[in-house]
Structure 1
């Protein structure tokens, strides 16, 4: 039983506490893996598919892929705290990309690297990774005790080597989301406050890239021309997907092309409905419908597109990912605005005479 009288979930009692930044780490892993596949295919195509080895030996790039995945696992097993995870996600993603790129050799009797459905198999594998992870992490909301555990995770790093102002601010922001009645909150706040200051930290290019990308998406999403450009981009993609699938997919009599057509029509339906919602000035509904249009494209249209045209579909996938990032940045911005408006209304209520209007934990480091 907990301080709030609620029984802990089985997963938390079993020690499976979720990382609040798991979505970022998964995205880093997937982006690194997909980029590795595309870059590897491009380099091999430009260099004439050379073979490393000789005298009957061939060192396939699945081997360095396995070594990089081993490095990522070693980093996660050998170090504590949140600092190492972005690097492990990047290295692991590159290693997995080198591994999955050779899936054609694993599923064919003649070890055919050029097996045509390889692109679709690779794409479906990454889609299943994302969907499976989202199911495991979003089937229930983050528990306040999990938030507290993530603060302690930051403190583990700070106790040993100190905390920079940026990392202390990240931990303090997580601590604010933990209700005061949760057991251990006061002690965690004291532990965080006891961490010595230290501005020396491991170089974190992945974190820096994430912050820059989020800022860029937020600026683009709030641009006055963002809605019409989004509609135009989705419309162009609808036409381009049909044309590319028909031309490179060798006609309209094949199942992949029919799948592209069905997915494109469904995506176009959501796009039209989103445009109508924009005209009615219902921006929240429009963003949600546009997001559905992009998700249909990613999870249905692009699967058949990769089957029909192989890696020529990478451009459409990239456009979908950029659109999804913009739409989710706008949805997050609207959520923050709604939260701020709700707080403003709450603050204007008459104060409770028995309690201070804004109770603060005196041990809170923020």
Structure 2
């Protein structure tokens, strides 16, 4: 199976649009008191708008071949899929219960499944792009858009570098075809430009990348993990007090906590097995981060294992009890995961640069002597 040259990018857009749609929609409905569109007889569910978005995306993919339209279709697929799956509680219950508790956990499992597919696709994409036939097919796929000046500069650069490398390929047929494609592109005056959207995305990416490499990100991850841990311990303490103390005192504690938290999604109630495991995993991640900052490689492995276990088990159970609290937990885990990967990548790069410097010194020392 041959993937599109931007398959991983399109899948990323789908996942991001899906997640933002579900979180944004559920947050909006919770804030506004779950309003209904329609009158006394009709109820226009938002899954219908999801179907419209999916239909438009299908038309774009079937009728057009432009790279730009595949991006628009990917965003519409994520939007439509999010609007559709948000009402999964109505599909699996006889009473059409939107508030069915496992619904949020089901949505998160779908999100996790898509993230796993993205991880597999990225590795598959890296492996297949090394083959000459695949690289040639990718260049041919985007050549019409490049000639019509509809590609961003990053994609134009990718096509030029691909064709330049294939022009010197051992296979004469591949080399001649790549040379013909390169000549065709140059004859039509291919430009390398940056549109405002690309410039904005690049600037945003630089800001995010700078933040992920900074100490501020490390402190943000540690503070968020500490807050989660303290919240879990507080939940256990409050739940234990409510069970041990007499009914009147328990009722007073419940009322006071509800007043302090204003009845929001972060009330420290419901000490469950998931909460206990979550606290333990948070502590393991914190210890792993500390050992990573101290320069121990095994600390990174321990923290990564605890984060993956939390994403695959605790967060699913947390969605069953409280979807908004679970969303905050996932954002914390994902931020910690990304930071650890960036941190380890930077350390690995520094080690490689250090070994190169040592090699240069060993090769130049005899000459100087």
Answer yes or no: same fold by TM over 0.5.
Answer: yes
Structure 2 CA distance for partners of 1:66 and 1:269, relative to 1, 3 Å? same
Counterpart check, 1:197 vs 2:190: yes
Q: Deviations over 1:181-228 (max 9, x none)?
A: 466256335524532224688x684x6665344323331233245545
Counterpart check, 1:65 vs 2:50: yes
- From 305, 321, 328, the equivalent of 2:318 is 305
- From 278, 286, 290, the equivalent of 1:275 is 290
Match runs of 1:310-329 below 5 Å: 310-329=323-342
Whole-angstrom CA distance in 2 between matches of 1:301 and 1:133: 22
88-97 or 322-331: which moved more? 322-331
Structure 2 CA distance for partners of 1:218 and 1:160, relative to 1, 3 Å? closer
Whole-angstrom CA distance in 1 between matches of 2:220 and 2:100: 37
Match for residue 139 of structure 2?
151
The structure showing larger relative contact order (alpha-carbon pairs under 8 Å, at least 6 residues apart) is: 1
Gaps of 5+ in 2: 240-265, 364-369
Q: Deviations over 1:93-149 (max 9, x none)?
A: 111111011011001101011112221111111112222443455368522123443
Q: CA deviation at 1:34?
A: 1.7
Counterpart check, 1:234 vs 2:225: yes
Match for residue 22 of structure 1?
7
Query: Which of the two has higher C-alpha Rg?
Result: 2
Q: CA RMSD in A?
A: 3.8
**TM-score, with structure 1 as normaliser:** 0.73
Match for residue 214 of structure 1?
205
**TM-score, with structure 2 as normaliser:** 0.72
Contact 2:37 2:45 in 1 (8 A): yes
- From 57, 75, 93, the equivalent of 1:90 is 75
Structure 2 CA distance for partners of 1:39 and 1:141, relative to 1, 3 Å? closer
Q: CA deviation at 1:64?
A: 0.6
Gaps of 5+ in 1: 1-15, 351-366
Give the structure with the larger helix fraction. Answer: 2
Q: CA deviation at 1:307?
A: 1.0
Q: CA deviation at 1:300?
A: 2.2
Counterpart check, 1:258 vs 2:277: no
Aligned residues: 327
Match runs of 1:70-81 below 5 Å: 70-81=55-66
Structure 2 CA distance for partners of 1:229 and 1:50, relative to 1, 3 Å? closer
SS in 2 for 1:17: coil
SS in 1 for 2:109: helix
